[in-house]
Copies of this chain bind each other. A is one copy, B any other.
Amino acid sequence: MNIAILGFGTVGTGVYKIINNTDRQATNLNVKKILIRENHKINLPEMTNDIDEILDDIEIDVVVEVIGGIEPAHRYILAALRHKKHVITANKAVIARYMDEFSRVATENNVKFYFESSVGGGIPWIQGLERALRIDSIDTITGIFNGTSNYILDQMDKTGREFNDVLHNAQELGYAEADPSDDIDGIDVANKLCISADIAYDRLVLPDDHRLPIFGIRNINRTDIEYFNQQNLTVKLLGKSFCDGKQFDYAVEPSLCKASAIEASVPDNYNVISLHGGTIGMLKFMGQGAGQLPTANAVIQDILDIYQGKEHLQRAFKSSLKFNPNLNRRHYLIRTRVDVVDIFEGYQLTVHDNYVLVRDIPVGIMHDLMKEILIIDELAFMTCVPEDLETTN
């Protein structure tokens, strides 16, 4: 099977390495072309700057897109599908926006569009979710979807250092990008949760929908972490979606986990993603959510599925499930210098040291009110609190 890799960064290099070093089934695979940027030097015989050289090569069966970002990735993926090439991508941003277009064009051209590596890196999450859906409806998706933010929170927790220190350190180690916004503002989690919900509910959830409640960890500080620790709680950035059969909700938000929760023990840049289904109950998948070889491994798993004729679940995105950001009510702990009594009129408020606890507030309303608070206090922070937590009473 002949493969072209678009982009030769971390993941692209990893795919090349595994294919050329393995003694296993991946030996049936051959990297024939690698697309690099125009101003980059060609130092491998497979390299080219010309996408048409790949599109017009009828010997190439599979195109692996690991450029990242929206364009030209979107354009290249469509062109490759229209040239009757299977496409595999790790690019969550472009999939979350164009999943329906890619799926439709792939079907029209009788080729596959697979994206296991886009959510949870090396974790077989998409595959596990699709498999669960063969039997069950899925009513819950939750998890730690982003390794960078988990690394930052874990380091703050273990070392007592400040957010910016740890972020800077993560950037030096290559765990965080120069512009870390996607990771720390919850955008990356949002994309991955959209992709997961698309599949679970057979309904498109677009990351640009301004109604999606998304709140990141940019504003968390050392004092917050210490306060949570005193109460034996660990804060994690979670993606969450629940479905009652007619409606579903969706949220990305910092969430306090009790020490007994699996999520509380997920270290470093690991991810854990969970589903709940009617007969299977709760399933959790944990592994390296990023990193060169785990992500490349997931890309190659998709290639092997194509090679072995293992079809993935087909979705038409025609479910009539309604999005309701206020489907669930939760408790939140808020830190702000703003007087929030008027803002949360009608909700039960209690003060706990430097924090205000709001009880039983619909999730979408909470996120909207937090946006109002942020206009006045741009350093304000909020986190979801476990329902059955007694210590903050």
Chain A residues with CB under 8 Å of chain B are 14, 18, 22, 24-26, 122-124, 127-128, 131, 133-137, 259-262, 264-267, 272, 277-288, 291, 293-294, 296-297, 300-301, 304, 308-311
Indicate whether A262 sits within 8 Å of B262 (C-beta atoms), given known contacts A124-B131, A282-B287: yes
Q: Complex formed: what's the CA distance from A137 to B297 in Å?
A: 12
Q: Are A122 and B280 in contact (CB under 8 A)?
A: yes
Q: Complex formed: what's the CA distance from A342 to B133 in Å?
A: 59
Q: Complex formed: what's the CA distance from A190 to B286 in Å?
A: 24
Residues of B within 8 A of A18 (CB): 135, 279
Can you list 29 A-B pairs, Cβ within 8 angstroms, ordered by A? A18-B135, A22-B135, A24-B133, A24-B135, A24-B137, A25-B134, A25-B135, A122-B281, A127-B131, A134-B301, A134-B304, A135-B301, A262-B262, A264-B265, A277-B297, A278-B293, A279-B294, A279-B297, A280-B293, A280-B297, A281-B287, A281-B291, A281-B293, A282-B287, A282-B288, A283-B287, A284-B286, A285-B285, A286-B286
Q: Are A279 and B296 in contact (CB under 8 A)?
A: yes
How distant is A203 from chain B, measured CB to nearest CB, in Å? Answer: 16
Residues of B within 8 A of A296 (CB): 279
Chain A at the B interface: SS class? mixed
Q: Complex formed: what's the CA distance from A134 to B278 in Å?
A: 30
Residues of B within 8 A of A291 (CB): 281
Residues of B within 8 A of A285 (CB): 283-286
Q: Complex formed: what's the CA distance from A265 to B263 in Å?
A: 9
* Chain B, Cβ-Cβ closest to A17: B279
Residues of B within 8 A of A297 (CB): 135-136, 277, 279-280
Q: Are A283 and B284 in contact (CB under 8 A)?
A: no
Residues of B within 8 A of A131 (CB): 124, 127, 301
Residues of B within 8 A of A308 (CB): 311
Residues of B within 8 A of A277 (CB): 297
Q: Complex formed: what's the CA distance from A287 to B123 in Å?
A: 15
Q: Oligomeric state, in number of copies?
A: 2
Q: Complex formed: what's the CA distance from A309 to B305 in Å?
A: 12
B24, B279, B294: the one within 8 Å of A134 (CB): B24
* Chain B, Cβ-Cβ closest to A18: B279
Residues of B within 8 A of A135 (CB): 18, 22, 24-26, 297, 300-301, 304
* Chain B, Cβ-Cβ closest to A281: B288
How distant is A270 from chain B, measured CB to nearest CB, in Å? Answer: 8
Q: Complex formed: what's the CA distance from A119 to B127 in Å?
A: 19
Q: Complex formed: what's the CA distance from A2 to B294 in Å?
A: 40
Residues of B within 8 A of A22 (CB): 135
Q: Are A262 and B279 in contact (CB under 8 A)?
A: no
Residues of B within 8 A of A287 (CB): 280-284
B136, B262, B294: the one within 8 Å of A24 (CB): B136
Q: Are A279 and B259 in contact (CB under 8 A)?
A: no
Q: Complex formed: what's the CA distance from A259 to B267 in Å?
A: 12
Residues of B within 8 A of A265 (CB): 259-262, 264-265
**Most interface-central of A135, A259, A264, A283 (chain B CB within 10 A):** A135
How distant is A83 from chain B, measured CB to nearest CB, in Å? Answer: 27
* Chain B, Cβ-Cβ closest to A304: B134
Q: Complex formed: what's the CA distance from A240 to B221 in Å?
A: 40
Q: Complex formed: what's the CA distance from A113 to B262 in Å?
A: 34
Residues of B within 8 A of A301 (CB): 131, 134-135
